[in-house]
Structure 1
Amino acid sequence: MRIAFFSDIHANLPALEAVLQDMDQKQPDFVYCLGDLVGYNVWANEVVETIRRRHIPTLAGNYDEGVGLHSGDCGCAYKTEDDRERGNQSIAYTNRIITDENRRYLRLLPRHMRLDFEVQEGEKLRILMVHGSPRKINEYLFEDRPEKSLQRLLEEAQADVMLFGHTHKPYHRQVPYAVAGQLRYRHAINLGSVGKPKDGDPRACYVLLTLDEKSHTADAASMQVEFVRVAYDVEKAAQAVEASPLPDEFADMLRKAY
């Protein structure tokens, strides 16, 4: 079984369309979106309507929450006053263009989703989907998080596999723990970003998770995690930003993926 997960589209319709086209070719069994549909680009309504039209199960991201509540705060952790001002311009613009119907949709999105698989008799595999973390929609779980802290988070969340986004930087960490003297593994998987990557690679990113009857927490390699990078028309997305009231810096971020 193959399951596709993606996150952080941020109103970048060309990137979303390229990713969905790639998924249509690969034909995963299930598809899930982990939020942040809007913000930073011009196609907020088109992205929401594409997700709705395809009936893709979707979480609320912090940006979706802010726009859904018609707030001026996206819950982002900006590092400088210039970044904060650009962020304020972005959410103000998104609040202006979003339709009432799409705002209602964003406001009512769930904050987490769970999947439980019994791939072996008596042995469950618990998958948790969140946007930022199980604790907060806008908590950043970076790759350098201490192992003990990440293990505690996964244990408290009762997740064997946790998928999340928000940082726009993809990674997969296998976190070991012991049960009755047997070594087992939990998995923390950051999906990266479809529409606003920050890892130096401007291509859209999503994850394919493959499970089979041998998938087990005792075997770290029994669950295959593939980060799929998809080329799209970055220049079209960047030029759309430059032709809008949004700050031109957002276009540079798309071109250079930072």
Structure 2
Amino acid sequence: MKIGVISDVHSNSVALDAVLSQPDIQSADTIYCVGDLVGYYSRPNEVVERIREERIPSVMGNHDSAVVESTPSSFSLHAKRAADWNRRSLTERNLEFLDALPLKIREFVNDRDLLVVHGSPKNPLSEYIFKEDVDELFLDFYFDVPPEVIILGHTHHPFAKVVRDTLVVNPGSVGQPRDRDPRASYGIIDLDSLNCQIHRVEYDIEKIATDTSQELPKALSDRLYEGR
């Protein structure tokens, strides 16, 4: 059984559409979204509606929480402006959808114990977990009995790593990659072999950048071309 994993779309429906059009993710048995559907860019309604239409199970990210509730003071000026603009732009129905997102999903999929959380298992909204943080101490700190698959987001840096008998995956960011590769990032997990492949796909950056710069700081659009 194979599952697709996407994260950190950030109101970039152009990148999301490109990812969801890929044959390998279309043929996946299911897809999970690891939060931050909104924020930063100018098409929040299109993103939320596509996630809803595709019935993609999703968790809440820190930008989703900021848009639904109130923007944290820790946000950068540009992130705050984008969150506030997204909040004003979303339909009531889409805001209600975001508000109802769970902080975690933990369930058995194909007899595999799977956890999906945006940040970390104990701080699902705000803690960053990078590849170098994932080791046996990581498993022992966060779990009495670790799940077999842990899917994280938030960092915008993709990785897949096996520690003991646990596969830890961050699919990277669909809508705002930060690993100096501007292509949208996603993952395909093979639950039978406990293996994950990270994939990249080009999309029309100019389209979302032009649209965003009409409403939000140009710096948000500019960073898309460099993947930072």
Q: TM-score, normalised by structure 2?
A: 0.92
Match of 2:150 in 1: 162
Say if 2:61 is the partner of 1:91.
no
1:173 to 131, 148, 161: 161
Q: Write the letter of the residue equivalent to 1:110.
A: P
SS in 1 for 2:87: helix
Aligned pairs (5 A) from 1:164-243: 164-176=152-164, 185-212=165-192, 222-243=193-214
Contact 1:154 1:162 in 2 (8 A): no
Match of 1:248 in 2: 218
Aligned pairs (5 A) from 1:65-76: 65-69=65-69, 71-73=70-72
**Where does the alignment leave 5 or more consecutive residues of structure 1 unmatched?**
79-83, 120-124, 177-184, 213-221
Say if 2:49 is the partner of 1:57.
no
Q: Write the letter of the residue equivalent to 2:200.
A: R
Q: Equivalents in 1 of 2:142, 2:110: separation in Å?
A: 19
Shift of 1:91: 1.2
2:105 to 105, 113, 137: 113
Total equivalences in the alignment:
227
Q: Equivalents in 1 of 2:18, 2:78: separation in Å?
A: 27
Shift of 1:153: 4.0
Q: Write the letter of the residue equivalent to 2:217.
A: P
Q: Equivalents in 2 of 1:62, 1:229: separation in Å?
A: 24
Q: Summarize deviations over 1:104-140 as a string: whole Å, max 9, x none.
A: 1101111111232565xxxxx3111111111112210
Q: Equivalents in 2 of 1:114, 1:164: separation in Å?
A: 12
Q: Equivalents in 1 of 2:11, 2:64: separation in Å?
A: 11
**1:47–1:26 CA distance, 2 compared to 1 (3 A):** closer
SS in 2 for 1:144: helix
Q: Summarize deviations over 1:131-154 as a string: whole Å, max 9, x none.
A: 111111221001221624322245
Contact 2:178 2:227 in 1 (8 A): yes
Structure index of larger Rg: 1
Match of 1:145 in 2: 133
| Overall identity of the aligned pairs, in % | 37
**Where does the alignment leave 5 or more consecutive residues of structure 2 unmatched?**
none
